[in-house]
């Protein structure tokens, strides 16, 4: 009798188990059967064979854009030389300095010139360490799972950045030529140094929080912070060398004339050789997921504790291109950042929407527009370069643009050629001097900025 009751109970449970396995939303055997049949009907055996044994990117490469772009530009900023950030995330630093470099080359008739990236990178890392520790002190009474505290410990320091950070560093510390403070191995290969700095700062952040928990005074915590920064300075000095305070320097121009040797400080060198007001530059974003013609500010997105948060005007792409065109026509390079990996033909140096046809290869449509890609984290700014040329047709409309890269002599002679349509889809940030911007757009700078959180994925550092 007991066995019959057990069998009866099991019989009652079986339908419930089957129902649980076929719960709404799960993949059923019928669904799998339909998928299999649809694939069988697609006649995709040749594509399957090719894809299983070859690079998807190579198979998707379009023959119609393979070297078909011409490399001529109607208007180009006069600059010379290509820089190389090597295995580091310092594109923002190279790009910013490469915006200033043509000013020196043209002003002093130089055959080549390069600023020291290591000089500013040293102070960038020291200032970011201080910014992190001050952030820990500011949030010291908040729990570890607080959103801002979690963000701080997730992002204590990095080698990426953006234009506003360069401005703050140059204004405080000046600038020097590359032969005054050259690149070190760690500057060109930042991964291990950055890993050690992150590890140390996270440890230090926890220690400061423990001090507060033990009711130690604010002055004691601040003194401890200074000791911690001394450790960071020590790591940076070992890895990059100590920055110069004064130096003697002279140059030879393109005609072979050698200047008189002179003593400079980094700030006096900037004032004499560059001498422009960096506050005269405005950052624009083209982000169709947010309202245009508004001023935005990113909380805590800066390189110095006593520096400025990153602010930008979100603007329609055609107006952005109008101002960029005016800048190039006046021989002024611009800081430019984009989603460089999308549709990049790195061998030829082309950024074109038709470089790779993944839809035809896979038999699947990829139809998201720029706004949708931003909202779903499918696209965002990943790399900074210097915008130096535009090719205009007879009506003055841009056909393509030229970006001076910092990857050495790869692509098109160290550059990337960008179609105008690619610019529309994957350009995110550009920095332009105020004199090329219309008055109605400049008035947007008078608005109260809309504050955005630092963890917004659109505002990750450019590498």
Per-residue model confidence as pLDDT tens digits over 388-438? 999 999 999 999 999 999 999 999 999 999 999 999 999 999 999 999 999
In a domain, 27, yes or no: no
In a domain, 20, yes or no: no
In a domain, 145, yes or no: yes
What pLDDT, on the 0 to 100 scale, is given for residue 5? Answer: 53
Range of the domain at 121: 75-459
In a domain, 14, yes or no: no
d(CA 397, CA 424): 14
Chain-centre distance for alpha carbon 264: 32
d(CA 164, CA 129): 17
In a domain, 240, yes or no: yes
**What band does 301 get if pLDDT is binned at 50, 70 and 90?**
confident
Mean pLDDT of 325-329: 98
Q: Is the pLDDT of residue 17 over 90?
A: no
Q: First and final CA of the chain: distance in angstroms?
A: 74
Contact in structure between 164 and 302 (CB atoms under 8 Å): yes
54 to 31, 47, 50, 171, 346: CA distances (angstroms): 29, 10, 6, 51, 18
Domain count of the fold of the chain: 1
In a domain, 135, yes or no: yes
Of residues 437 and 459, the one with the higher pLDDT is: 437
pTM: 0.92
Contact in structure between 82 and 376 (CB atoms under 8 Å): no
Q: The domain spanning residue 120 has which CATH number?
A: 3.90.70.10
In a domain, 80, yes or no: yes
Query: Tell me, what DSSP letter sits at residue 349?
Result: T
| In the block, residue with structure tokens 């990750």 | 460
Residue numbers annotated as active site: 91, 383, 405
Per-residue model confidence as pLDDT tens digits over 73-83? 999 999 999 99
Per-residue model confidence as pLDDT tens digits over 26-75? 999 999 999 999 999 999 999 999 999 999 999 999 987 766 679 999 99
**What band does 3 get if pLDDT is binned at 50, 70 and 90?**
low
> Directed axis angle between helix 91-107 and helix 117-138, to 10°?
140
HSE-CB of 231 using CA atoms within 13 angstroms: 14
What pLDDT, on the 0 to 100 scale, is given for residue 6? Answer: 44
In a domain, 50, yes or no: no
């Amino acid at each position: 009798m007991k066995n019959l009751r057990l069998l009866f109970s099991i019989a009652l449970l079986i339908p419930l188990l089957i129902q649980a396995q076929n719960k709404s939303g799960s993949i059923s055997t019928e669904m799998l059967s339909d998928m299999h049949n649809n694939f069988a009907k697609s006649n995709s055996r040749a594509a399957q064979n090719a894809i299983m044994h070859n690079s998807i990117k190579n198979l998707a490469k379009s023959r119609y854009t393979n070297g078909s772009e011409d490399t001529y530009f109607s208007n180009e900023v006069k600059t010379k030389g290509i820089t190389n950030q090597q295995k580091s995330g310092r594109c923002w630093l190279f790009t910013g300095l490469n915006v200033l470099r043509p000013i020196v080359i043209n002003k002093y008739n130089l055959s080549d010139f390069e600023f020291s990236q290591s000089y500013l990178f040293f102070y960038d890392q020291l200032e970011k360490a201080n910014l992190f520790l001050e952030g820990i002190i500011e949030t010291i009474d908040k729990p570890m799972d607080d959103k801002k505290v979690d963000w701080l410990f997730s992002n204590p320091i990095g080698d990426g950045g953006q234009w506003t950070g360069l401005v703050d560093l140059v204004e405080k510390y000046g600038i020097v030529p590359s032969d005054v403070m050259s690149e070190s191995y760690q500057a060109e290969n930042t991964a291990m140094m950055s890993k050690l700095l992150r590890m140390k700062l996270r440890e230090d952040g926890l220690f400061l929080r423990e001090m507060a928990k033990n009711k130690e005074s604010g002055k004691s915590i601040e003194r401890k912070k200074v000791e911690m920064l001394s450790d960071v300075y020590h790591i940076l000095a070992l890895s990059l060398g100590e920055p110069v305070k004064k130096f003697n320097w002279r140059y030879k121009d393109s005609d072979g004339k050698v200047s008189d040797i002179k003593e400079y400080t980094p700030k006096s060198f900037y004032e004499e050789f560059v001498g422009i007001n960096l506050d005269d530059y405005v950052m624009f974003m083209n982000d169709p997921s947010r309202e245009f013609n508004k001023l935005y500010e990113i909380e805590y997105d800066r390189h110095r504790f006593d520096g400025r948060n990153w602010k930008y005007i979100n603007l329609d792409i055609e107006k952005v291109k109008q101002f960029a065109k005016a800048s190039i026509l006046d021989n002024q390079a611009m800081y430019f950042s984009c989603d460089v990996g999308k549709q990049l033909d790195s061998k030829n140096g082309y950024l074109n929407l038709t470089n790779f046809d993944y839809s035809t290869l896979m038999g699947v449509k990829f139809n998201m527009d720029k706004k949708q890609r931003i909202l779903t984290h499918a696209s965002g700014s990943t790399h900074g370069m210097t915008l130096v040329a535009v090719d205009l047709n007879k009506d003055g409309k841009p056909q393509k643009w030229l970006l001076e890269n910092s990857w050495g002599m790869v692509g098109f002679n160290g550059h990337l050629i960008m179609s105008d349509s690619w610019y529309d889809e994957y350009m995110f940030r550009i920095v332009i001097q105020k004199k090329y911007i219309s008055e109605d757009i400049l008035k947007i700078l008078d608005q109260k900025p809309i504050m955005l959180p630092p963890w917004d994925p659109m505002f990750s550092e450019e590498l």
